[in-house]
Amino acid sequence: MADGKRWGLIAAAAVAVVAASAGVAVGYGVWGAPDYYAVTDAADLPAGGENDLIRLGWGIITDTARHIGKDAEDPALRYAGNDLACANCHLDAGLKPFAAPFVSTSTSYPLMVDDRVVTLTDRINGCMRRSMNGKPLPVDGQEMRAMLAYIRYVGEKSPEGVRVPGMGLKPLAPAAEPPSVERGAAVYAANCVRCHGADGQGNRKAPPGVGWAIPPLWGDGSFNDSAGMSHIETAAAFVRANMPRGVTYEAPILSIEAAWDVAAFLTAQPRPKGPPRGDSP
C-alpha cells in the first residue's frame, strides 16, 4: 500500500478514536439554533445566591491561575501545577463553538467511557491532573461546586442528553500525507510566533495579573503529555478551527495540511510528564 494511502487510513482511524475520547464532534454539523451559545455574561448577573457561585465558577475558568493556580494567593488553593487557564482551551469561557464549549456539557454527564461511568466532577479533575498538571479538586469544595454551577448555567438551554451542534472540536479531514514536524515549524513561524513566541512560552499577564496573557505551548509551564491537546489529532482540530486567535471554524486561515503539520510540530515539543492516560477520565 502506498505511504500516502496508508497514512490516510491511519489518520482517519486515529481521528475517530480521539473523537470518542476527547470530545471531537463526529457526525453532525452546526445545524441548531445559535441561541444555545447566547448566554448572559456571568459577570453581569445580579449579586446573591446561586449567581455568586456561578460568577465564582466563571472566575475560576477564565482566571484559573489567580484562583487555583500554582501561584494562587492562598497556598491551600494551589491545585493546578501550572498557571494556565481553563479558558485557554475552552475559549470564550466555554461559549465558542468547536472550541471545546461547555454549552451541553452538564446535560451530557454522567456518561460511559471505556465501560466506566464518568461524572462531570471526574472529568474536571481529569483536566486538573493533565491539562493543569496538578491535583484533583475536592469534589465537595467550593471551587468544584462553583465550576459545576457555571457549567450548568451556560447549559440551561441545552436539551437533556443531547450534545448540541458546535460541541467538542470540529472534525478535521485526514492529512493527505504524513504530517511533518519540519513543515510545521515553518507554519508556526509564519502564524504563531507573533503571539506565542519563538520559544513557545507565550507572555505573562502584566502585574498585578496572575498567569498568562498568552499561554505557553510547551515546556514546564504548559500542559503535560497526558493532556488531550498533547495528541496530534486534538491539536490539529483545535488549531484549524480556532487559531490564530479570532479565527472561526467557518473561516479558518490554515489549510488542513498546515493544521496537521503545525500540530505535529507542537506535539513534538517537550512538556511535563503526566499520569498514565488510562488511570483517570
Instruction: Give tens-digit pLDDT for 171-212.
Output: 999 999 999 999 999 999 999 999 999 999 999 999 999 999
Reported as half-sphere exposure (CB side, CA atoms, 13 A), residue 167 has a value of 24
The pTM of the full predicted model, rounded to 2 decimals, is 0.87
Question: What are the mean pLDDT values of the chain's consecutive 10-residue runs (281 residues total)?
Answer: 44 39 42 75 94 98 98 97 98 97 95 90 98 98 98 95 93 96 98 98 97 98 98 98 96 98 98 83 63
Asked if residue 68 lies in contact with residue 158, where contact means CB atoms within 8 angstroms, the answer is: no
Q: What is the DSSP string of the chain?
A: --HHHHHHHHHHHHHHHHHHHH-B--S--S-S-GGGG----GGGSPSSTHHHHHHHHHHHHHSHHHHHSTT-SSGGG---SS---GGGTSHHHHTSTTB---TTTTTT-SEEETTEEE-HHHHHHHHHHTTT-S-PPPTTSHHHHHHHHHHHHHTTTSPTT---TT-SB---PPPSS---HHHHHHHHHHHTHHHH-TTS--EEPPTT--SEEE--SSSTTS--TTSGGGSHHHHHHHHHHH-STT--TTS-SS-HHHHHHHHHHHHTS-------GGG--
Place of cell 498568552: 214
**Whole-angstrom distance, CA of residue 29 vs CA of residue 44:** 31
- Dist CA 49 CA 154 (whole Å): 17
| Cβ count near 257 (within 10 Å) | 17
| Structure confidence at residue 280 (pLDDT) | 60
Residue 260's contacts (CB-CB under 8 Å, 6 or more residues apart) are 11, 172, 175, 179, 232, 236
CB 99 within 8 A of CB 242: yes
Q: Identify whether the C-beta of residue 88 lies closer than 8 Å to the C-beta of residue 212.
A: yes
Q: Cell 451541553 sits at which residue?
A: 104
Give the burial string for 109-145 (b: 16+ CB within 10 Å, else e): beeeeeeeebebbbbbbbbbbbbbbbebbeeeeebbb
Angle at 276 between CA 79 and CA 58, to 5 degrees: 35
The superfamily in CATH containing domain 3-28+170-279 is Cytochrome c-like domain (1.10.760.10)
CATH level 3 topology of 35-154: Cytochrome Bc1 Complex; Chain D, domain 2 (1.10.760)
CATH 1.10.760.10 residue spans of the chain? 3-28+170-279, 35-154
pLDDT tens across 11-41, in order? 444 433 333 334 444 334 444 445 899 999 9
User: In the prediction, which pLDDT does 103 show?
Assistant: 96
- pLDDT of amino acid 9: 41
d(CA 136, CA 144): 10
Q: For position 34, what pLDDT does the model report?
A: 52
Beta bridge partners of residue 116, listed in sequence order: 113
